[in-house]
Structure 1
Amino acid sequence: PVGSTTRRLSFFVMVLCNSRMIYVEFTVSQTMEHFLACQQHAFCFFGGVPQKVMVDNLKSAVLKRAIGQAPIFNPRYLDFANHYGFTIVPCGIRKGNEKGRVESGVGYVKKNLLSGLDIPDFKVMKPIAEHWLETVANVRVHRETGKKPVDLFEQEKASLQPLPVEAYDVAVINQVRASRQFRVTVDTNRYSVPAQLSGVGVTVRQYPDRICIYHEGNLVARHVRSYDRRQDFELPDHPKELLAQRRKARDQKLLMRFLVLSDKAEAYYQQLNERRLNTLHHIRQIVALSEIYPLEQVQRAIDDAFIFQAFSCEYIANLLEHRTRPARESGALHVTRRSDLLDLTIAQPNLGIYDYSIMEDEDDNKGN
């Protein structure tokens, strides 16, 4: 199992002839980048490079082999060998016995490590292989030598060549064109590139553990390689340019709708900008009002707002609401004709009480 799918399990074996020190690496692919990377990892595991490497006549190493003729090596593998300084020794045609040590190693892996092994997911194979090499394969007493490979290796490693300063670039390079959805496809999986590269030719470098994508010599995307199938992988920054373009186009369309509302709309827009307001917010609200109220009323509201130097969507909304609110008609004046209100009889007031109060005040003053 690999993610949501299943793949055929393969493994690479390299055995040193003298000590029988073994290196094992599991893969789910046998393409060139895996073939080269597995040997590269083996050299790092041994801490050096042997003088000669014997290989099968597989196409990754030998393109053509005929009896009595010199083999034609795969140019990529030959370049790899030259970089690490070893000589390629291909087996004779149909003579697998010439590399019996590694064939025995393959059988040993199948019988000792893989037999009855439950594999829940491919990602567990790397730690399993490392643990097996350290605790079983390279510390056992070998049947042929009678000694532990790890002990004999102490003598053999002096014969290994030192590793080069720079590791060989094992990537397989392809020129592809990004899709309209700014994706490139590798082994049925889709990987994103920056949105501005939609439909543009890019260079894809396929490594066993990663996918690197270049445009005009610059690295524009780096993804962890997936061995699942038909999955989509998008980096968060890649759609930003597309979203910005869409937002810009949407804002431009909104502005065009606003400018046709009135002859004063362009000047109104400039005034909003000069006042450093959230221009798009006000324009968006005014355009929304034009979908509710008749165009003539919106046009008049903008014209009047410009005259009064009132630059905001709230003022436009208040004008429209006020002018569409029905005005109350003045009611008729009703004069009452009830006889009990019109024919009133009021008794004459008695003013004598004021004279009586004055006489009393005069008497009091005389007594004092």
Structure 2
Amino acid sequence: MECLLEGLVAIFEHIGGVPTEIWFDNTRTIVTKVIKGGGRDITEHFQRFCEHYRIRPIFMNPESGLEKGNVENKVGYLRRNELVPVPRFDDLTEENGRLLDRCETDMRREHYDADRFISELFEEDKARLLPLPSVPFDTALYTTSKTDKYGKFTLDAGKHRYSASPAFCESIVNLKITSSAVTVMDADMHKVVRHKRLYGDEHERMDWLPYLTYIARKPRSLRNSGIYDMMPQSMQIYMNNCENKECGRVLKVLAELTERTGFASAVKTVDEAVRLNATDPDSQQSLYRRTYADVPFLPPLENKALLPQQKVIPFRNDLKMLDAALKKGGVLNG
């Protein structure tokens, strides 16, 4: 549902309006029941989406592909021209944006039947679009999930597993799910951790940083965690050779520094401490403050002749002479 609705919103915003009606297949994502006589029971979320954008959904007859043959042909056309060879990309949203731009370019050709450019025909269609609503529809799915004793939960009938935090072991967490992300939130809807959404055969998505304090208490678990792989090789070698107690102290400092300015700066500090053989907690904290404290740089003072010369005041044991020199009353002020 999130993918479908996000795709529709992306189209509406790209073309600058909303069609008055859209034809749909009877996908179970939106249709819960096909009623004899042409009616449809649709999901509440999809119904609210249609009412928000004032769309009239038109559903095709089951197993009647000929009703929209031109649309089916366009799917094949786009596959052959834009998705061959299979594209590779890191961000699906960005790739979809580039695909829409290429579709705009593709409209600069003559229509097969109208003897006019497709872009000209589309401009006439755009004049009949409904205006975009002032407030966009929230297409995300909001739900809850129960975590296990490790602070993890599953989605998609147990197929995909995500981490929350050790602070949320065997408890209920709130979830905001979009096509690209799964955000874990606490009872006050504050973000705990955000994961890239899993699809296909990829089974688990872990964010190890919330588990860093827990690992510091049980340093033997370090090698089995993703934290170990995130460390530079010099730190890994040091952790392999130190005892559990010492390893735990280093990890505790690493967790504290991570909470202040992030994992990257914390690792840099601890790695530098390992290089200098200053791995006790006080030395690491001092090194961190020296590296990341927000103290402005002060240049050295220049030794100029204009500086006043020191005045030697001989007074031996007579404080009255010192009082007179300082002109502040001295003992007279009590």
Q: TM-score range by the shorter chain?
A: 0.5 to 0.7
Q: Deviations over 1:111-132 (max 9, x none)?
A: 3334x42444675854662453
Contiguous gaps of at least 5 residues in structure 2? 220-245, 250-334
Q: Secondary structure at the match of 1:94?
A: coil
1:202 aligns with 2:202: no
What TM-score do the two structures reach when normalised by structure 2?
0.56
Once residues 16 and 63 of structure 2 are traced to their aligned partners in structure 1, the CA distance between those partners, rounded to angstroms, is: 32
Letter in structure 2 aligned against 1:230: H
Q: Secondary structure at the match of 1:143?
A: coil
Q: Answer whether contact 1:62 1:90 (CA < 8 A) is retained.
A: no
Query: Equivalent pairs: percent with the same residue?
Result: 26
1:134 aligns with 2:104: yes
Letter in structure 1 aligned against 2:99: A
Could you say which structure has the greater relative contact order, defined with CA pairs below 8 angstroms and 6 or more residues apart? 1
1:42 aligns with 2:16: no
Q: What's the offset of the Cα at 1:204?
A: 1.9
Q: Deviations over 1:42-67 (max 9, x none)?
A: 11111111111111111123222244
Once residues 187 and 110 of structure 2 are traced to their aligned partners in structure 1, the CA distance between those partners, rounded to angstroms, is: 55
Higher CA-based Rg = 1
Letter in structure 1 aligned against 2:214: L
Aligned match for 1:232, one of 193, 196, 205? 205
Letter in structure 2 aligned against 1:135: T
Once residues 40 and 171 of structure 1 are traced to their aligned partners in structure 2, the CA distance between those partners, rounded to angstroms, is: 12
Structure 2 matches for 1:345-360, cutoff 5 A? none
Q: Answer whether contact 1:81 1:88 (CA < 8 A) is retained.
A: yes
* Matched residue, 2:195: 223
Q: What's the offset of the Cα at 1:172?
A: 2.8
* Matched residue, 2:164: 193
Across the aligned residues of Structure 1 and Structure 2, the Cα RMSD in angstroms comes to: 3.1
Once residues 60 and 31 of structure 2 are traced to their aligned partners in structure 1, the CA distance between those partners, rounded to angstroms, is: 10
Q: Secondary structure at the match of 1:159?
A: coil
Q: Answer whether contact 1:141 1:149 (CA < 8 A) is retained.
A: yes
Q: Answer whether contact 2:151 2:163 (CA < 8 A) is retained.
A: yes
Q: What's the offset of the Cα at 1:208?
A: 0.5
Q: What's the offset of the Cα at 1:200?
A: 0.8
Contiguous gaps of at least 5 residues in structure 1? 1-31, 248-280, 285-368
Structure 2 matches for 1:265-280, cutoff 5 A? none
Q: Secondary structure at the match of 2:23?
A: strand
Q: Answer whether contact 1:195 1:240 (CA < 8 A) is retained.
A: no
Q: What's the offset of the Cα at 1:221?
A: 2.3
Q: Answer whether contact 2:193 2:207 (CA < 8 A) is retained.
A: no
Distance 1:140 1:242, change over 3 A: same
Q: Secondary structure at the match of 1:36?
A: helix
How many equivalent pairs are there?
216
Structure 2 matches for 1:1-368, cutoff 5 A? 32-114=1-83, 116-120=84-88, 126=96, 129-136=99-106, 138-187=107-156, 188-219=159-190, 220-227=192-199, 229-234=202-207, 236=209, 238-240=210-212, 242=214
Distance 1:123 1:144, change over 3 A: farther
